[in-house]
Structure 1
């Protein structure tokens, strides 16, 4: 900076208290820059004064002054002092600028535009779209679906149930994390890489064989639709699964709780028919005990006339599409529930009607006609998780140590123990395969002193 004893000092107008802070408009390789000399301290009031008054950044370039041969008042470089207390000084500095634009300004503007563009439209991180588990097309299939429009993607999504996507989400997230840590392309793995991932699931995470096979299906199906079958049948993948199966031989299935215990508890249980929660919970467990179907199937029951036919001695439900077994050529059978006037607590007709009456206003506010509606917060159809929570609280009160989903296995196993025909068990529980029932659901039943059931109050009916 020029010293205060410069010969040009006399030509500079004083602008208030200078506070011994000289400013110079000097030459540079690009253009004249506004330089503010700072004392050895943390902040400068002067720099803030420049910014607020001029509304410009401290690094702004001032255009080069060009001599004007037609006038005697051409701007010239000057040295002088500017007060740090003058908020209007910016106007005086800018008055000395020529009208010619600085060569550095377009460059600065271009940089600024590029920065802004990168912030809004820049390439996102690899996990922002490719690994977003909320949209199926954003998983490993994204490369195959780039040319698809919105209507085509929406049609494709209908082949997936929401519950299935929720199950796959956990497996996909773990696969993406493993692929990232091992520098593997999560959307296009090799058979060797998939086999290595499956081995880590067993060796490190100690997952069961059935869970690992689920992960194998998720990765082979969702990573790359073009090579799905090749991944599943890859030699290394098949052999690593065989090794895991050998390490974990099938254990003897433990006995399952007896349905008679829960029925005895419900028979003597006092239910407040004016309490929405107790009424819905009681209705839900009765429907599960009578039918032996999945908890998810309860979310498909509706109260409108097209889906629910009510008479004095029976109620028929036609579940809406969405069961695990529903497909283009098969639909879940209807539910026919019979009256049981001798035992009110075990009468499904009474409790279904009571549930419909108590929740009528809440259904109207939710603009839905599902049989089961959430009890708290905003009214909406009760999900499988919500209904399972209701059953869990009832199990705790009844002293049953089991998961809510075990009702299906307990009902079917009890019917098998009582020599119920296999075809009837499959039809009542909506099983498509006898092997599935025998392999996963048929279990030894714990013995009790009494034996009671409510399955006679339910019968499956075929659609015309």
Structure 2
């Protein structure tokens, strides 16, 4: 269909020696758009382009003016009619790409911010305050993990006892993998961010506050159809740890992941509903697998 379109328009314009500048300009644009796919194409509209430019100047930039086609220009149009339908176009590779590029123009920063915030909240079971303090200068990455070293005191820490490292593990499903999402997020925001903290505003590109992160998480809850009169941003912490315990993750692992000092906190606020179901058996699953497989 595209071949017939090119040949039809080119043939129509080649029938007569005098054409409107607007028609010739349109034809040149058509040739230019196809140049990347047709061998030798760039050298077969030079005369047509030069003559159009001169004619446009002589007509005071009036595209409704008339221009005459020289024999060279006619031959170029004939070349296109003969060659555009032949199977000699440049080959298109469908192999594995050597590098992937993210288009900032198509990058929906708000959605990716919400996604990375949600995955962090679920897979680390950390407070919003802690997540806003994750710093890229204290981040170590590998193919399967991302580790953040906390360089400041957290809510339950005291002088002399700094919070443990926060580790993100890769997950088998890419769309739910916090490691993949984080790397995508960093690559997409690399030229935009104005701060070394992981989570930055999609408006100012600077570090967000705890209240901003809480608002993001509530937006995710609302869009998921969850009643905000019953659940808030802090509910992610309880949901992930309860899901982990229900899946058989040991209490010790849950305590270390959520950075709780006493099991009473977990048992008092998050464990009651699980225990009411008759308890669970322990297993050796990773915390992330237990949470994301629910």
TM-score, reference length from structure 1: 0.35
Match in the other structure for 2:168: 337
Once the two structures are TM-superposed, the CA of residue 291 in structure 1 deviates from its matched residue by 1.5
- Is contact 1:293–1:429 with CA below 8 Å preserved after alignment? yes
Once the two structures are TM-superposed, the CA of residue 388 in structure 1 deviates from its matched residue by 1.1
Match in the other structure for 1:375: 202
1:424 pairs, out of 253, 264, 271, with 253
> What SS does the aligned partner of 1:382 have?
coil
1:82-161 map, 5 Å: none
Higher CA-based Rg: 1
1:343-399 deviation digits (Å, cap 9, x = unpaired): 111111111111212222333xx3x200011112x3321111111111111111111
1:168-225 deviation digits (Å, cap 9, x = unpaired): xxxxxxxxxxxxxxxxxxxxxxxxxxxxxxxxxxxxxxxxxxxxxxxxxxxxxxxxxx
Match in the other structure for 1:327: 158
Runs (4 or more) in structure 1 with deviation over 6 Å come to: none
> What SS does the aligned partner of 1:415 have?
helix
> What SS does the aligned partner of 2:192 have?
helix
Rounded to whole Å, the distance in 2 between the matches of 1:442 and 1:336 is: 24
Pair 1:356 & 2:186 matched = yes
Structure with the larger helix share: 2
Match in the other structure for 2:238: 409
Stretches of structure 1 that go unaligned for 5 or more consecutive residues are 1-271, 448-452, 459-464
Asked which structure has the greater RCO (Cα within 8 Å, sep 6+), the reply is 2
- Is contact 2:201–2:208 with CA below 8 Å preserved after alignment? yes
RMSD: 2.5
Rounded to whole Å, the distance in 2 between the matches of 1:415 and 1:321 is: 27
TM-score, reference length from structure 2: 0.54
Match in the other structure for 2:176: 346
> What SS does the aligned partner of 2:136 have?
coil
Once the two structures are TM-superposed, the CA of residue 338 in structure 1 deviates from its matched residue by 2.0
Q: In the comparison of the two structures, how many residue pairs are matched?
A: 175
Rounded to whole Å, the distance in 2 between the matches of 1:419 and 1:273 is: 41
Q: 1:398 to 1:454 in 2, by over 3 A?
A: farther
- Is contact 2:151–2:162 with CA below 8 Å preserved after alignment? no
> What SS does the aligned partner of 1:351 have?
helix
Once the two structures are TM-superposed, the CA of residue 421 in structure 1 deviates from its matched residue by 1.8
